[in-house]
Amino acid sequence: VVRATVRAVSKRRIQATRAALTLTPSAVQKIKELLKDKPEHVGVKVGVRTRGCNGLSYTLEYTKSKGDSDEEVVQDGVRVFIEKKAQLTLLGTEMDYVEDKLSSEFVFNNPNIKGTCGCGESFNI
């Protein structure tokens, strides 16, 4: 659906929060924009796949319903569903949306990551 990058965050302690994933205001705004023209979809789903040169990669897709084992994060009117396989890899992660002159993408600032590939597309824990 959209492009996502992973960043390892060093020297950041995992803070206990009610949600497994927190969204920045720019991520909330972008998800609202993406869903505005898709009334049949209720949110976005974050998953993890084995891919890339470093092992794992996050996936984002529109979803029409919550899966049986999905964890739901609701923030500022936006619903994000986390697939069961991705739940442990996302604990304490901040999802951001970043735009610059050459690209725009969702960025996962994850304190659990031990290493990433050079392009930031895949990671390992």
Query: Which tens digits make up the pLDDT trace of 16-52?
Result: 555 688 999 999 999 999 999 898 999 999 988 876 5
Residue 41: per-residue pLDDT: 94
Residue 44: per-residue pLDDT: 94
* Residues facing 115 on adjacent strands: 124
Closest CA to 74 of 21, 17, 1, 14: 21
Q: What is the mean pLDDT of the chain?
A: 79
In the predicted model, what is the mean pLDDT of residues 9-21?
58
CB atoms within 10 A of CB 39: 7
* E strands, 4-120, in order: 4-8, 21-23, 43-50, 56-63, 71-75, 78-82, 93-99, 104-110, 115-116
What is the CATH architecture of 21-124?
Sandwich (2.60)
Residue 45: per-residue pLDDT: 94
